Chains A and B, each alone.
Chain A
Amino acid sequence: MRYLMLVLSTPDDPELRPEDAAGAPPIEGWVARYDADGTRVTGDRLRPPPDAVGVRVRGGKVLVTDGPFSETKEAVGGFDIIDAPDLDSAITVASEHPMAHAGAIELRAFWPFGDDAAR
């Protein structure tokens, strides 16, 4: 199964403790390991939310916004796409990402191909 890992910074999380962030494993090892075994399909860091550009088409006109659509404290700082046999494997991979310790990871399973019944 494929999962999108949204890598979030969560400065307002009351459970976030400095010692957790300090103990986060380095990103290089994580990338090397999961690139090597084929788990990580792709991924990257993203420019921060103020650099976002919104695009909408309304009434046939392309509307472009300066910055993100919604201001939230939780910001997507990067993403990875991983291929994992099941959720528990994906959770294990996510839990080893440094930002799981210093922020949060949101796992989103890909919509299964041809499975329109799943909501």
Chain B
Amino acid sequence: MTTPATAVEDAFRTEWGRVLGAVARSTGDLDLAEEATQEAFATALRTWGRDGVPGRPGAWLTTAARRHAIDVLRRRRTEGERTEAAARLAARVDAPGDSADPVLDEVALGLDDEGWAADHPDDDLLRLLYTCCHPALPLEGRVALTLRSLTGMTTAQVARAFLVPEATMAQRLVRAKQRIRATGITFRVPPPAVRAERTEGVLAVLYLLFTEGYDAWAEPAGDDAGSAARRALADEAVRLARLTARVLPDEPEARGLLALLLLQHARRDARTGDDGASRTLAEQDRARWRRDEIDEGLRVLDDALAARRAGPYQVQAAIAALHARAGAAADPDWVEVLGLYDVLLAMTPSPVVALNRAVAVAEVRGPEAALAVVDDLADEPALRGYHLLPAVRAELLARAGRADEAGEALRAALDLVDREGDRRLLRRRLAALTG
């Protein structure tokens, strides 16, 4: 039996975004929505123990949050505060019936909200997602706002995950919300003309969030809280991708992203060895891959591919799936992997994709052919300072029997590397080469 405290905690994880989204939709004020949502959960903590856990916690919390928002708006009106919401409210009282705005109508008409029903919580979540990921917001603001608004992570938690002081993160969130007001971003699904780009933008924010956490899994687990907080970002990103795939059922790329995250995240326990060094895919102990998550990822990917509208996330997931499907310690079909990289490179011609593709080229056509590919990338500005460029080169040189050059490339990679796990891996390789 769940205790009321556990029920509140569960609801916090599953309902925060939809409650916030519902209040944001009807008030158009993200700050107020956040405050009201927090208040609703505080009320739940106080009363669920006494009155019992409601049958539909989400609806209960939404009603409580809306009621709090209405109280605040009423108070603001009487105080004559010149906030935007109060100003809009005043306009509404002077000219009722201009537009449908449930909370403000209720305030204006003095109605209570008993009859109000949470109609489409998923629509509210979708609006909130598009709003938090709006391209008119700075990227770091989009990332922070998405976490804060959709997962209920506190500002302190988000700050820890991004290794910045809490005050810095608070400022980042304030600025993003201010910009929402100042530029006129509203809580809506974007118009059809720009929806495809916006959806891409949402998925990009989620992927960025994931990679922040995923990178932390390739580091030796630190004793500091920062490591755990950063690693937890990957879990949050998977949750958000799951939610996004649900609210965008017609978007195969949303499912492609979910599949990709599941397939990558399933390898987290195998990505560093006991020595704290990163392990390449080939070196990973496949018994430590999470089979249930791989199975889910494969199912989600098949489902996405069935729509026959491929995109970069589906292709990346398909590459990850080839590795996942290859049995214990077996190699995937490299010809197929290379074919998919060719498709991916045509879709997203990025130097990082080209570098990853080089690994598949080596397997199919040999290290010298792959070296030619890597050497073509030497002057790419996007790869300048990226330790994996010389690291991949070193690996290829070693396989081609050019040990001296391989050592040189490894030392170049060691000069650039800023991840401890990769540093240890490179040192080990250098020792093996020279030892």
Give me the interface of A with B, judged by CB distance under 8 Å: 1, 3, 84-92, 95, 107, 109, 112-119
Contact = CB atoms under 8 A, between A and B. Distances in A.
B191 A117 contact: no
Contact of A114 (B87, B136, B191): B87
A92 B184 contact: no
A87 B84 contact: no
Contacts of B84: 112, 115, 118
B25 to A, nearest CB: 13
A118 B184 contact: no
Interface residues of B, number: 18
B182 interface: yes
Contacts of B193: 92, 95
Contact of A3 (B83, B184, B188, B190): B184
B291 interface: no
B178 A88 contact: no
A88 B82 contact: no
Given A87-B136, A88-B190, A119-B178, A109 B184 contact: yes
Contact of A115 (B82, B183, B185): B82
B106 to A, nearest CB: 22
A3 B186 CA distance: 15
A115 B191 CA distance: 28
Contact of B188 (A84, A88, A107, A112): A88
Contact of A85 (B134, B136, B183, B186): B186
B246 interface: no
Nearest to A112: B84
A104 to B, nearest CB: 14
Contact of B191 (A88, A107, A112): A88
Interface string B237-281: 000000000000000000000000000000000000000000000
A117 B84 CA distance: 9
A68 B321 CA distance: 59
